[in-house]
Structure 1
């Protein structure tokens, strides 16, 4: 997606800061690489890689702790997927906890290639050469950039089973060809993806934790419910839980690739470039979104947002607004009107009004929707949710209007990037999306706009804070929405669409 796209993922910030010198991280709980590695080898591995990772890890786009120094590492597991032999590469799978002062720690999945001599075309992927330890003097590099090593991952998924703490699983009816050439995608930010022969795409989660990742859980549930709007997982792999009593960690998911498809962001900007109407695609996208929501509600448990939950939801939104207004003075004149939108969802709870909550996409925008050129059919992808949000929170039931609000904000961003004159293009696309949604879903989000207005306001507040910190030139885009939403809150019954 373009750098001018909406700030959908906070974990993609590229700001960095100074880092300390090498530390001596703990290796407790680690599993040794290979069959013969013992505690000394594991400790030596992490000690030797630590200084290299201190410099390399913060430079990766998927590293979540930008701007905060790393104080040390702890090795969760180390598994030798392929031992190096002669001139051939080796592949080492690591789960490493990175500690940061004042910010706790995050667990990262690393796939490190190992060679005695690194070919010139892999030179940009170099992590470094350890000065000591079991990999002393060898070139350690980002393994996914090496086609031979990327192909090895697919082979592991073709032939499921266990290797140390790793478990590879394939759907029984899926047959994966062994001759699918890999290519690494360079557009990923919070994770990494490789396409195999234009047939499958493997998404590797970089920041991982105990629990099923929604990008595996939800597409599997949708496939079982017969929903064809989301590519069904063909295979995946996990790691055993690092602590007793916790769940396995989802590490990667293999899904069908949709060659030739274009995402909604590209299509919207293409329409704007030639002054074309976008209402028909927006209406069809609204229908596709409604179908996915209905299938998720059928496949997974739902709950009611009662008084206490609505009050907690409104309080959380107000807290985020206060924090953003403290950091961005431009928000302060609108605070009272924006808070009124949040109060509007707490008040019905006191009167016994409830809304339904269910599993949703969680990070829906134009870039998460693909349309195939042959039939113009929309599919939704990337159900991981907001990576900066804890996994347990991403797996909680939420109102469907959170997804709807995210898409409405995405239309506004597309109009701004595509330099649409006035608000007509965005207004028409937003209205068409809601019309398409209402045509396929029994709940029309426009009939009771309070919950939708509150979620769109919450999203716009997040955007203001993001733009102020990272792209000040783009601050007018969400501030325009803030002004509109504040005026809508002042007008009783004002609709956000």
Structure 2
């Protein structure tokens, strides 16, 4: 094996990228954020390759950092057109590999592989999101408006930790969060790096900016972002690649906070209501965000045909889920009735106000800070297209997401007495809805048909998600579907052509 030759601006970076592509065929499908699990990759094409220089350039001692936009094609069972996605990757390369680089502790699964031929024979490539020395370069670019090749960096001003090294957050998610926290709390920041990207404004950036303009205290303050026009979609809007926001260092993750509280119940079941006060405040925070979004962005009304179409779409998702996870099929007929009840309510006059919402709200998307609950990650459900995630929706979708999350926490805790866990979930569901209604928003429990439909749709989505990504968890949403299949609800009487208050209105 020859001595590895690091790429330089003079030699060009395409040979390094081309040598890395065969390694990516095996590495990409094992990533948490890769959408096409289970289907073979038929082609990987670099759409854009941009070197991100450090203060001293791309010297051998600091390693190479390339920003890649990769077009990935995957064959589908039965033939037909391949599925095409674009992924963002920070590619690190170094003769000695990532270990020991400026004290970097790069996990083994971040290593893409070692090149074994050509001028870069022996060079180790890896996901540079895990290399603090390299991600510092990305942060430096975000501190002022500028362009670098196809990349465009924008900032809202404010104090940024320009010299801070980055570390990847430990929360499980479909993207990658890099935390920059080496100074005063006011300067700590977190960069959400979108892995699967598409042309158009990502709702995480769009809604964060809207809420920031509205003066909302229910989100971490947005600071900067970067984007790029995709070479294979030159007429489309630029794709959002990453969003930098203030990092709430002392805040607690809602999921971990709930789990910690519920796990105390094995020792003392009398504490079953202890989290309810927090759930009430979380309900208020969720309604506050909905109010601010309704003031800042367009609101519409879904009439009979649109509500019926929504119910039919839910039913079709159920059918597809039953094919993907056969165990769900035993509840198909009963769950389809849930969606028929929603369509029947529409024929009886139900009209729904629709607005921009979070779209994928659960306890892992909220933080309890010193100033109260804040909501994170307004990207929406990753499996949906960007256009779908930017559509106005009934606010009850977010409510259903949190209610399902209480059910998840209760089931995941695996208490000795399942009845105690069920009581905990019920009390927190009730408290959340009460807090939501206390802002002047409509109490979501007043329309059980509507709430049951959205809870069911969410549970069906969870069944497919868990079957694909966390098979050990699939029993949780399957149990919820069994419960929802036996729950009775009847369409409420609604005055024809009178919208229900699914968009919160100020008291």
TM over 0.5: yes
Tell me how far 1:65 sits from its aligned partner. 1.2
Partner of 1:238: 227
Tell me how far 1:42 sits from its aligned partner. 6.9
**How far apart in 2 are the matches of 1:493 and 1:476?**
31
**How far apart in 2 are the matches of 1:442 and 1:189?**
30
**How far apart in 2 are the matches of 1:213 and 1:226?**
20
The reply on whether 1:67 has 2:38 as its aligned counterpart is: yes
**Cα 1:179–1:318 shift into 2, 3 Å:** same
Partner of 2:263: 273
Decide which moves more: 450-459 or 335-344: 335-344
Partner of 1:94: 68
Contact 2:401 2:458 in 1 (8 A): yes
Partner of 2:355: 358
**Cα 1:133–1:234 shift into 2, 3 Å:** farther
Contact 1:114 1:138 in 2 (8 A): yes
Partner of 1:11: none
**Cα 1:130–1:226 shift into 2, 3 Å:** same
Tell me how far 1:481 sits from its aligned partner. 2.5
Contact 2:360 2:378 in 1 (8 A): yes
Contact 2:219 2:375 in 1 (8 A): yes
The reply on whether 1:187 has 2:165 as its aligned counterpart is: no
Contact 1:171 1:234 in 2 (8 A): yes
Decide which moves more: 462-471 or 231-240: 462-471
* Aligned partner of residue 141 in structure 2, secondary structure: helix
The match for 1:112 among 91, 97, 101 is 91
Partner of 1:477: 476
The number of residues matched between the two structures is 456
Contact 1:129 1:140 in 2 (8 A): yes
Contact 2:345 2:491 in 1 (8 A): no
Decide which moves more: 77-86 or 222-231: 77-86
Tell me how far 1:323 sits from its aligned partner. 2.4
Tell me how far 1:344 sits from its aligned partner. 2.1
Contact 1:337 1:490 in 2 (8 A): no
**How far apart in 2 are the matches of 1:465 and 1:77?**
33
**Cα 1:384–1:118 shift into 2, 3 Å:** same
Tell me how far 1:394 sits from its aligned partner. 0.6
Tell me how far 1:416 sits from its aligned partner. 1.3
Partner of 1:166: 151
**Cα 1:211–1:35 shift into 2, 3 Å:** farther
Tell me how far 1:207 sits from its aligned partner. 0.6
- After TM superposition, list the pairs within 5 Å mapping 1:290-329 onto structure 2: 290-329=287-326
Tell me how far 1:432 sits from its aligned partner. 0.5
The reply on whether 1:144 has 2:129 as its aligned counterpart is: yes
- After TM superposition, list the pairs within 5 Å mapping 1:36-435 onto structure 2: 44-82=15-53, 84-102=58-76, 103-118=82-97, 120-121=99-100, 122=106, 124=108, 125-131=110-116, 135-172=120-157, 174-197=158-181, 199-242=188-231, 243-275=233-265, 276=271, 277-372=274-369, 374-375=370-371, 377-420=372-415, 421=417, 422=419, 423-435=422-434
Deviations 1:221-260 (A, max 9, x none): 0011111101121011111232232010111111001112
In structure 2, list runs of 5 or more residues that go unmatched: 1-6, 77-81, 101-105, 266-270, 494-507
Tell me how far 1:43 sits from its aligned partner. 5.9
**How far apart in 2 are the matches of 1:170 and 1:257?**
16
**Cα 1:94–1:135 shift into 2, 3 Å:** farther
**How far apart in 2 are the matches of 1:44 and 1:362?**
41
Tell me how far 1:460 sits from its aligned partner. 1.8
Give the TM-score normalised by structure 2: 0.84
**Cα 1:468–1:112 shift into 2, 3 Å:** closer
* Aligned partner of residue 153 in structure 2, secondary structure: strand
**How far apart in 2 are the matches of 1:171 and 1:492?**
47
* Aligned partner of residue 446 in structure 1, secondary structure: helix
**How far apart in 1 are the matches of 2:138 and 2:119?**
23
Deviations 1:403-436 (A, max 9, x none): 1111111111111122354121111100000000
**How far apart in 1 are the matches of 2:140 and 2:413?**
43
**How far apart in 1 are the matches of 2:65 and 2:118?**
16
Contact 2:284 2:435 in 1 (8 A): yes
Tell me how far 1:386 sits from its aligned partner. 1.2
Tell me how far 1:310 sits from its aligned partner. 0.9
Decide which moves more: 82-91 or 128-137: 128-137
**How far apart in 2 are the matches of 1:89 and 1:303?**
51
Deviations 1:59-101 (A, max 9, x none): 2221111111111112211111125223221211110011111
Contact 1:324 1:465 in 2 (8 A): yes
Contact 2:197 2:239 in 1 (8 A): yes
* Aligned partner of residue 144 in structure 1, secondary structure: helix
* Aligned partner of residue 384 in structure 1, secondary structure: coil
Tell me how far 1:262 sits from its aligned partner. 1.0
Tell me how far 1:336 sits from its aligned partner. 3.0
Give the TM-score normalised by structure 1: 0.85
